[in-house]
Amino acid sequence: MATKILIAYYSWSGHTAKLAHQLQAATQADLFEITVAPGTFSQDMYETSEEAKAQLASGKLPVLAYPLPDLAQYDVVLVGGPVWSGVPSTPVRAFLQAAQGASAVFAPFYTHAGTPAQYEDEFKAAAAPLAVAAGFGLPGDHVAADDAQIQAWLARV
């Protein structure tokens, strides 16, 4: 039986979207863009960072614009997003919260501006008790991964 994969991603600047599409080309997986209501975040990176920090501090995550696909049909969910202040973005956290109860294995992929900090540990904590596999990250300005990198990661998921 073939493994059924969903690629769910949130992309603020476009870097994570590029990586999501590379993964989709390599896997032929279904693609789901995690979106929030227009105006949820500023167009300014620094203002967005402050907005996200306030969301985390208050525990009030952004509302997802669309319902999740039926996760019961997937064996693996690759969840992509940017690293914001060393942690998963609040839209990714909202997705993980909405995915609670799914039986798939979740694996993070992410783009960062220099250091992923503790992204994978924070992702695992936000996803708990979902099953989480090792992640894959790249600097946003070097988002083009070669097929060997992608295939090596997918083999570990």
Q: What is the Cα–Cα distance from 101 to 104, expressed in whole angstroms?
A: 9
Task: Report the amino acid identity of residue 116.
Answer: P
CA proximity to 45, closest of 12, 90, 2: 12
All residues at 6 or more sequence positions from 94 whose CB lies less than 8 Å from its CB, including other chains: 34, 36, 61, 62, 63, 64
pTM beyond cutoff 0.95: no
**Residue 68 gets which letter from DSSP?**
P
Q: Which domains does the chain have, with CATH numbers?
A: 5-156 (3.40.50.360)
CA proximity to 81, closest of 66, 96, 100: 96
**Per-residue exposure over 56-77, b if at least 16 CB sit within 10 Å of its own CB, e if not:** beeeebbebeeeeeebeebebb
Q: What is the pLDDT along the chain (157 residues), one digit of tens a residue?
A: 568 999 999 998 888 999 999 999 999 999 999 999 988 998 888 899 899 999 989 989 999 999 999 999 999 999 999 988 888 999 999 999 999 999 999 999 998 877 777 889 999 999 999 999 999 988 666 666 667 888 888 888 8
Measuring CA to CA, how many Å separate 120 from each of 1, 26, 43, 65, 88? 29, 22, 26, 25, 8
